[in-house]
Amino acid sequence: MNRTITSFGGLFACLVFLLVAGCERTDSGSSSSSPQPSGGATPTTATTGEATTQPSASTGGGAPGRKLVVGYSQIGAESAWRTANSESIKAEAAKRGHDLRFADAQQKQENQVKALRSFVSQKVDVIMFSPVIETGWKQVMTDIKRANIPVVLADRRVDAPEDMYVTFVGSDFIEEGRRAGQWLAEKTGGKAVIAELQGTVGSAPANDRKKGFAEVIAKYPEMKIIKSQSGDFTRAGGKEVMQAFLKSPEGSQINALYAHNDDMALGAIQSIKEAGKQPGKDILIVSIDGVRGAFEAMVAGELNCTVECNPLLGPTLFDAVEKVAAGQPVPKRITPEEGVFDQSKAAAALPTRKY
Ligand code: AHR
């Protein structure tokens, strides 16, 4: 009799356990609709790729709403843009309750490769990364693909076959370069002696922004770049390289500066002042990003124009990550909407800037 009671109790306990476990599965599965974006970049879906469905993550598929483990390799903290970008990604992961494994590569590709390999060992659900330079990723991306972990590219593209990643969320850097060139061409009536501060050598934004700008100024025979060098996307780099430009034998001819990001332009402004010239007047300055410091410099009359590159990619990235983890289709390319701001718009826009 005693044995009968014990077996019945055991059976009852098993039934209760199965019911609870079943309910838990139903709960996580039931919130299957993707959370709404909460500000940040307003994405437009680029037409340059088919919507693709990626196999579910190796740790068991998933659905929007499920807690995900996401490995993210960030480039570093070279600019105000990058800081805003990291904050946006961390805040969005926290808001949605995902476990974000954030690795700062301190500008080194080798650190990024190590981080990516470690995410594979950790069997994360999705890997995101912002590649510091375009080339040199094929081997590690092949290994990630073999491990069946989906990849979401954030901010910068890579020179690798398209089937190695599911989607790329980031700006159109060529278009940004074109917008900067167009603004300068209009402002100067197609006549300018230009110094160019390039971004990190080999990076997608440096390559593309150079290309887009060159494409536009090629239509204006009296617009010439007489100096061009990398300032590595940093304020210190921009200051140092601009100082060298101004001290060079051709330095006195420079009447326009194109900087691939705002931080370098802000550094260059210091050098221009130290050389006894007025930034924004003696030398017209156009740069890219649209960080708050650039708006302040425009209000002060020291920077003339900034072409927006939106770093607030967190909400769009995590929309994509959740869909990818759930095996749902996502567009191959997702591009944020961005504007161009010159001094005439700066004062009105400054209070509304989010980064
Ligand atoms: O990849 C985006 C670029 O990288 C931003 O323009 C720049 O500020 C950053 O460092």
Tell me how far the alpha carbon of residue 63 lies from the centroid of ligand 1, in angstroms. Answer: 32
CA atoms within 13 A on the CB side of 345: 13
* Pocket of ligand 1 from Cβ distances under 6 Å: 78-79, 81-82, 155-156, 205, 233, 261, 263, 288-289, 309
DSSP one-letter code for 64: T
Enter the tokens of residue 88. Answer: 């946006």
Between the CA of 203 and the centroid of ligand 1 the distance, in Å, is: 9
Distance CA 72, CA 69 (A): 10
Our mutation pick for probing the ligand 1 site, out of 171, 289, 310, counting the most ligand atoms within 8 A of Cβ, is: 289
SS3 label, residue 165? coil
pLDDT string in tens for the chain (355-residue length): 333 333 434 444 433 333 333 322 222 222 222 222 233 445 554 322 233 334 333 333 344 469 999 999 999 999 999 999 999 999 999 999 999 999 999 999 999 999 999 999 999 999 999 999 999 999 999 999 999 999 999 999 999 999 999 999 999 999 999 999 999 999 999 999 999 999 999 999 999 999 999 999 999 999 999 999 999 999 999 999 999 999 999 999 999 999 999 999 999 999 999 999 999 999 999 999 999 999 999 999 999 999 999 999 999 999 999 999 999 999 999 999 999 999 999 999 999 999 9
**Cα(281)–Cα(290) distance, integer angstroms:** 20
* Contact (Cβ atoms closer than 8 angstroms) between residue 137 and residue 206: no
